[in-house]
A = this chain, B = another copy of it.
Amino acid sequence: MELFAEQGYEKTSLREIAERLDVTKAALYYHFKTKEDILISISDDLIQPVDELITWAEAQPRTLATKQEVVRRYSDALWGARDFFRFVQENQASVRDLAIGESFKGRMTAVNALLHEPGASMTSQVRSLTALFALHAGMFTVRDLEGDPEEKRAAVLEVALDLVTQADAGDTADPAGTGDVLTD
């Protein structure tokens, strides 16, 4: 996963992976059927915390507090598997034709569904989706901002929490969807 995250999927060859693990290419092929299979095998492990989060959240009442906790836990899950999520974000073009593409998109959709009511306004939906993107992008791109990493993580989390809070306010106060929560 380090290699995939550093170099991208296409630019990481089985030769490199084998060398890094100090095994032969053929040994890799004994354990994994294809290059893609290596990726699948890694991501199955790494994506598990997200699955657990989804399972947990579905058993909770769909309150604002729950939504905020989902965001916090998602942030932790992302951080715990940084390399993997960075890889997916930076290799969307490759991932699109890979099995993990679908599986990943499915999780994103599921988590997003946890953050707003089914009939929420378009604006609310976009807001909660943006909260997720903020976490994703924040995790990697914020590197380019100056400042203490921990402080940056905290700021990203805060912005994401604001977004779901506003989405929730929009859902409950204004289901029709003009969505202007700020003027409330």
Contacts and interface: CB of A to CB of B under 8 A. Distances in A.
B129 A147 contact: no
Given A89-B92, A93-B11, A141 B122 contact: no
A96 to B, nearest CB: 8
Contact of A122 (B87, B134, B147): B147
A11 to B, nearest CB: 7
A75 interface: no
Interface residues of A, number: 47
A125 interface: yes
A105 to B, nearest CB: 7
Interface string A114-156: 0000000111011101100110011001101101000110111
Contacts of A93: 7-9, 11, 87, 90-91, 94
Given A9-B93, A92-B90, A105-B144, A130 B134 contact: yes
A35 to B, nearest CB: 13
Interface of A: 7-11, 87, 89-94, 96, 105, 109, 121-123, 125-127, 129-130, 133-134, 137-138, 141-142, 144-145, 147, 151-152, 154-156, 158-159, 162-163, 165-166, 179-182
